[in-house]
Amino acid sequence: MKLMYENYTLCYNRFMKKLDGYLTKIWHDAKAACFEFETTSVISIQAGQFMMVRGVDDILPIPVYPSGTLNGTFTSMSSAGRHWKVGDQLSISGAHGKGFNIPSVSRKLLIISSTSTPLRLIPLATQIIAMGGEVALYAGIIPEHIPAEMELLSKDQLGEAIAWADCIIGDVRQKSLTKWKDLFSGLNISLHGREIQILVDTPLVCAGASDCGICAVKTKHGWKHACSDGPVFLLDDLEME
Amino acid sequence: MTSELQSLLELPSRWMNQAGTLGYSPTHSQVVSGSIFVTNPISFRPRTPSADRDVIAYPGGFLLHSGLANSGWKAVRKKYTSHWAQYRLPVWIHLICQDTAELERIVRECEETEGIAAIELGLPPGCPQDFMLQLIHHAQGEIPLIVHLSAGENHHLLNNLPPEVSAITLGSPRGRMKSEEGKIISGRLHGPGLFPLMLEHLNSLCGLGIPVILGGICNREDGETALHTGAAAVQMDRLCWMGELPVSSTS
């Protein structure tokens, strides 16, 4: 069966689930590699969570995330997994981590992306639009396939959009966190009191199996692991290293 | 000498995980009964992650640099003592310490902690041999001591090892690679591509009269080859992360 994810369900699996599957489709959207998988059973996964997927010859598994407008589409970062071919047998585990938690009353979603693709945030846009809401996107790179109803913003529209939105999400590479915060400097924008959920990109290796610490993120509550405590964090909780 | 010391170190299984691959608790679902559990490296004081932490893949393996972050012996012990006691697996505590008094204190507390079967001492890279020998001396106690060496480093120590050292573990070597940001990162190398090198090191150490436990093993076939080549036991590396950990074989 085609591997699907549940947009609306917070479904964090504490114990690692593993299943076998194979790749049914691979394509590129802007800089991102996108995939579809066929599996023997269903993994419940929500936007922001990830699965670890490993081909027979892969030394390390590759994290892939729900992405795009179509249920069942996944993406990796930095085009990892682009060597896979349709029909490749894959070992899949997940869902790992904690994803986005969008309040059910939210109808005005602002997405601010500073990574190589905002694709991992798009499932939430699709969700809000399906509920009759509105979505605005600020991103450096715009994917080919995004909801037609989504408004694209320029940097000077950000202030107004922040005031408009009832929910703000984003993504950032951990090493670029300061740049994300700098985005708002000079724009006379106050984020005070706004709860911003942000997907933090770090290397993900063990998915919590070894406490390897590679994905450590410094927060106001101490060091956290993106693989199990994240990768979605509240922006306010994050600290610069 | 060897046979007497070997009796101190129980090896109910010749398969175990490598330090850093399965956390601190043998409750992990991948640990099978009959194997030995080796903790992540633990220091006396808490260690924060390295600012340059990274994983960098290359053909045949990858470099991992974490900084060996851990919450320190006191916190780890408090959190996991009951785990170590509850599960009937021998637990080896992997210690990293650069202070002899602190090391001695941990060793004494390990002796008082149920479930701890051995101490595996990781030696800091690049320090003088005299200091390494001091650390080894202060890590000696009532429970077996295993000294962890990285392949290609500090092998000269082996000629001066105190007789109380029960075994050595030979871990995969360190290396340097360029990160995505262009920085040169130093870390430990992992992966099946290292196996021929590891086997060569094993071969050169096997005649020294001390049991050698070979780390960096990535699959069952390599583990069996190492055991047939003279390794007293093998430590599984990357395989742990793939959820396929050690084989319950006692052979």
The tens digit of pLDDT for each residue in A190-236 reads: 777 788 999 999 999 888 878 888 999 999 999 999 999 989 999 98
Q: Is residue A71 part of a domain?
A: yes
Q: Is residue A79 part of a domain?
A: yes
B186-243 residue pLDDT tens: 999 999 999 999 999 999 988 888 899 999 998 889 999 999 999 999 998 866 566 5
Q: A126 and A35 in one domain?
A: no
Residues above pLDDT 70, as percent of chain A: 91
Relative to beta strand A222-225, strand A232-234 is unpaired
Query: Is residue B129 classed as helix, strand or coil in its secondary structure?
Result: helix
Q: Is residue A182 part of a domain?
A: yes
Yes or no: say if B189 and B238 are a contact pair by the CB < 8 Å rule: no
Contact list in A for residue B246 (CB cut-off 8 A) is none
Query: Which residue type is seen at A27?
Result: W
Give me chain A's average pLDDT, please. 85
**So what's the pLDDT on residue A15?**
38
B38-53 mean pLDDT: 94
Give me chain B's average pLDDT, please. 86
Q: A146 and A46 in one domain?
A: no
Yes or no: say if A229 and A98 are a contact pair by the CB < 8 Å rule: yes
Q: A174 and A114 in one domain?
A: yes
C-alpha distance from B64 to closest chain A C-alpha (Å):
8
Q: Is residue A3 part of a domain?
A: no
More confident residue, A189 or A7: A189
Task: List the single residue in B49, B241, B242 with the smallest CB-CB distance to A216.
Answer: B49
Contact list in A for residue B242 (CB cut-off 8 A) is 54, 61, 91
**So what's the pLDDT on residue A8?**
35
C-alpha distance from B46 to closest chain A C-alpha (Å):
11
Yes or no: say if B19 and B148 are a contact pair by the CB < 8 Å rule: yes
CB contact under 8 A, A209 and B51: no
Radius of gyration of chain B (CA): 17
What are the extents of the domains in chain B? 2-241
Query: Which residue type is seen at A221?
Result: H
Q: In the listed set A96, A128, A149, which residue is the last one of a domain according to the structure? A: A96
Q: Is residue A78 part of a domain?
A: yes
B57-113 residue pLDDT tens: 999 899 999 999 999 999 999 999 998 888 878 899 999 988 999 999 999 999 999
Residue to mutate among A59, A82, A228, with most B CBs inside 10 A, is A59
Q: A88 and A112 in one domain?
A: no
B128-152 residue pLDDT tens: 888 999 999 999 989 999 999 999 8
Q: A150 and A87 in one domain?
A: no
Is the per-residue pLDDT at B119 higher than 80?
yes
Q: A78 and A159 in one domain?
A: no
**To which H or E segment does residue B56 belong?**
strand B54-58
Q: Is residue A2 part of a domain?
A: no
Helix, strand, coil percentages for chain B (3-state, nearest 5)? 30, 25, 45
CB contact under 8 A, B64 and A93: no
Cα A207 to Cα A26, A216, B97, distances in angstroms: 24, 12, 27
Is the per-residue pLDDT at A84 higher than 60?
yes
Q: Is residue A157 part of a domain?
A: yes
CB contact under 8 A, B28 and A216: no
CATH architecture of B2-241: Alpha-Beta Barrel (3.20)
- Which CATH number do you get for residue A38? 2.40.30.20
Q: How many domains does chain A have?
A: 2
Contact list in B for residue A203 (CB cut-off 8 A) is 53-55
Is the per-residue pLDDT at A14 higher than 50?
no
C-alpha distance from A175 to closest chain B C-alpha (Å):
10
C-alpha distance from B43 to closest chain A C-alpha (Å):
15
**So what's the pLDDT on residue A16?**
44
Query: Is residue A116 classed as helix, strand or coil in its secondary structure?
Result: coil
Q: Could you tell me which chain A residue has the CA closest to the CA of B31?
A: A209
Task: Please give the structure tokens belonging to residue B184.
Answer: 């040169």
Task: List the single residue in B64, B181, B243 with the smallest CB-CB distance to A16.
Answer: B243
CB contact under 8 A, A206 and B55: no
**So what's the pLDDT on residue B50?**
92
Q: A213 and A181 in one domain?
A: yes
Is the per-residue pLDDT at A70 higher than 80?
no
Q: A153 and A59 in one domain?
A: no
Q: A210 and A181 in one domain?
A: yes
Q: A92 and A23 in one domain?
A: yes
Task: Please give the structure tokens belonging to residue A129.
Answer: 């639009």
Contact list in B for residue A16 (CB cut-off 8 A) is 29, 243
**So what's the pLDDT on residue A20?**
79
Is the per-residue pLDDT at A78 higher than 80?
no
Q: A92 and A112 in one domain?
A: no
Is the per-residue pLDDT at A105 higher than 80?
yes
Give the E-state strand segments of A4-106 in sequence order.
18-29, 32-39, 50-55, 62-66, 74-75, 89-96
Query: A82: domain range?
Result: 18-96
Q: Could you tell me which chain B residue has the CA closest to the CA of A52?
A: B242
C-alpha distance from B84 to closest chain A C-alpha (Å):
16
Q: A146 and A228 in one domain?
A: yes
Q: Is residue A225 part of a domain?
A: yes
Cα B140 to Cα A227, B174, B186, distances in angstroms: 37, 26, 30
Residue to mutate among A31, A212, A241, with most B CBs inside 10 A, is A212
C-alpha distance from B83 to closest chain A C-alpha (Å):
16
**So what's the pLDDT on residue B249?**
47
Is the per-residue pLDDT at B250 higher than 60?
no
Contact list in B for residue A78 (CB cut-off 8 A) is 180
CB contact under 8 A, B64 and A212: yes
- Which CATH number do you get for residue A129? 3.40.50
